[in-house]
Amino acid sequence: MIITTTDVIQGAVIESYLGIVTAEVVYGSNFLRDFIAGIRDIVGGRTGSYERLFEQGQRKALDELEQRAQRLGANAVIGIEIDTGTINVDQSGVLMLITATGTAVRIR
């Protein structure tokens, strides 16, 4: 399966558009990760644990997007966008949200 952020695939002809597909990955916050990130916020520098978390989440979202597109009979997903955000659960908790969206297509 081809997955791409572009709206065309060079050398391929789109036979049919099968619909919009989305995938969501949600992670809960972690006390240790939050504590280390807080220290990084004070002293400066990158927060590797969160970077790895978002990288892993993006991979999982793309994998799920591909599976959902295959269920529609697609052999490609075009126009993919990945968004990140947060969901406030209560005053002490935040969930991290990673969403992938694209158009499932059948190409030849």
SS (H, E, C) 55-68: HHHHHHHHHHHHHH
Which pLDDT score, from 0 to 100, does residue 93 have? 72
| Rounded percentage of the chain residues whose pLDDT exceeds 70 | 81
User: pLDDT tens digits, residue range 85-105?
Assistant: 988 877 767 788 999 999 999
Q: Give me the pLDDT at residue 28, please.
A: 78
Domain 2-107: which CATH number of 3.30.980.10, 3.40.50.2300, 3.30.110.70, 3.40.50.720: 3.30.110.70
Burial class (CB in 10 A: 0-12, 13-18, 19+), 5: exposed
Average of pLDDT values for 64-91? 93
Q: Where do the structural domains in the chain lie, given as residue ranges?
A: 2-107
